Chain A
């Protein structure tokens, strides 16, 4: 049986509560294009954000993060240990192997601080933080809050099927691309849609409107430039009026009680990939697989970090890049973040592998097309995806 490479271990402890709203959004390829004519700048009062004095110390948070960080770092998995030892990569990067420290025991003792440092560097590199002092706290917060963002089951209200949902998500992916929104906006929009479908009564006739409103609200939360509502109505072929769209906006906001917070799986993917020193191609492949998960209704039961971990594992297995000692060591370190149970990860990998194998022939192929471009290194057309399921021993 195939292994995910991520290790089974003790469950995530209840990490201490802390908010992060301060992160600057990641710059995405989708965001690289200039604004369109119909866009208007968002006027947000920045007065609170601008001159806020940074607290030099946050005692209660710091104390608690020391207590709780244990939970997300696991003991090395057997495989990881052997890979460290067998590869004989003792002369790897200084960061991983400080001089004079040999043997697994001392290495294991080092993992928490190495990992912490790597997480801090990665978050900074990804532009997710402004100040490295808060990086670890923020990471713990991401790990804790993301556990709220999965659903107990994949059930939809009776009159909707997974196929209907997939068609809607596929259409939203296209609208998202036309709008040149950031990738975070897409993940948030689909999360809001998943929640709305379960909390708000909507008729099939209004499903498209609901989807568009979720994308609009996600944009209000994440984007600097917003499209005009009239433009959105145009994209829906004027099936709905502006008035209907705004009424749906209020309905969704009330239904979700204005709770728009979300930790997108993409952030975990980029974080893990950065720690694991993954190649650009592995990252693009993993991003493709992760975006495919949006179309799969059954994926809503998994946590963002699990989806990200599984997408990255599958990507590595599909691409089969020749291993290097540094790469393997970095992967081992990334694997020491407790992502999820082996069973959960394999289940996701199977779903994604089967989705990727069928992607080109499906009606819902916006993601396939998007990731077949030269900018994304043509990952969706990679031949290895055709029999990805076989790689997993299914």
Chain B
């Protein structure tokens, strides 16, 4: 199948040496469209492709059948043997030229309009709600893997890959940005879908600020930066299954979020704080976030207008 893939997809450019391996932009010679090729090398033993890989890719395929507008299309999957110990799984995604990072960089001062931010956020949360209701978490949500088409359509990319890649990651000393990581991940506690909501909160703030909210240089530094904004959580909220003690951090009171995100309106600030909640169980879910007055506000406004 290797040659079939390389015949059907003609590499055009390397578009990123992501944490998980190189990503290529390629042209689908059948349709003429551009695709993004992401390859994962999975270790294979005498029993073939690992069960986790088979199940995860099958799950991505199944998600694909639902054709969600805010999730990037997975067009093809292929497995090729590289050696006796390794199989290369190539995932063929639709290619979108622009991610949220470049989108924000290209936006001239004074930045995105409040309506535009609201629209992007709604689409982002719709995509997340879809993934979460299918028990898929992204785990590595950041502006680089939120794609924005030229029509302003948001498409989540790279979800679910964290699990497919995980065995590979264990072998590679990868540098992954900490800026969008929630406290529970930084503290190496258990985590679930709320991780993505924390990241979404960071991105929400960044849309206003046009620069990241928390730019830590290490796990502890990142946590420190977080507590400077949301305050040091009470002892009872500190997870019990972690090695890092709460005593390592100086007691800080929460500061008004508008000190850091100046242009945000009142409902937006309230939603942002619900996303940047320390306790993952108290953090708002994607679906409840969509029901928040921050979004309903605009609906009623447009209704009265029309």
Contact = CB atoms under 8 A, between A and B. Distances in A.
B137 A45 contact: no
Interface string B21-52: 00000000000000000000000101111011
Contacts of B48: 216, 229, 245-246, 249-250
Interface residues of A, number: 48
Interface stretch (B77-85, B111-119, B149-157, B252-260): B77-85
**Residue in A19, A49, A51 with the greatest tally of chain B CB atoms within 10 Å:** A19
- Could you say which interface size class chain B belongs to? 35 or more
Nearest to B4: A254
Contact of B49 (A18, A230, A253): A253
20 contacts: A17-B65, A17-B67, A22-B135, A44-B52, A49-B135, A53-B194, A55-B132, A56-B287, A58-B287, A220-B54, A220-B55, A230-B46, A249-B48, A257-B76, A258-B54, A258-B58, A258-B61, A260-B54, A261-B62, A261-B65
A55 B285 contact: yes
A48 to B, nearest CB: 6
Contact of B77 (A43, A249, A254): A254
A249 B49 contact: yes
A250 B87 CA distance: 9
Contacts of B281: 53
Given A18-B66, A59-B290, A250-B81, A259 B61 contact: yes
Given A22-B135, A48-B137, A250-B1, 15 more contacts: A19-B62, A19-B66, A45-B52, A48-B163, A49-B135, A52-B192, A52-B193, A217-B54, A226-B47, A242-B46, A249-B49, A250-B80, A254-B1, A258-B60, A261-B61
Nearest to B50: A43
B1 A251 contact: yes
A131 B209 CA distance: 41
Contact of A253 (B47, B54, B65, B288): B54
Contacts of B1: 250-251, 254
Contacts of A363: none
Interface in A54-68: 55-61
A125 interface: no
A247 interface: yes
A42 interface: yes
Contacts of B166: 45
* Majority secondary structure, A binding face: loop
A57 B288 contact: yes
Contact of A51 (B51, B58, B80, B192): B192
A56 B129 CA distance: 12
A247 B81 contact: yes
B63 interface: yes
Interface in A11-31: 17-19, 21-22
**Residue in A48, A49, A50, A259 with the greatest tally of chain B CB atoms within 10 Å:** A48
The 5 A-B residue pairs with the shortest CB-CB distance, nearest first, are: A17-B66, A260-B58, A258-B57, A19-B134, A51-B192
Nearest to B66: A17
Given A19-B62, A53-B285, A221-B54, A228 B79 contact: no
Given A48-B192, A258-B58, A58 B129 contact: yes
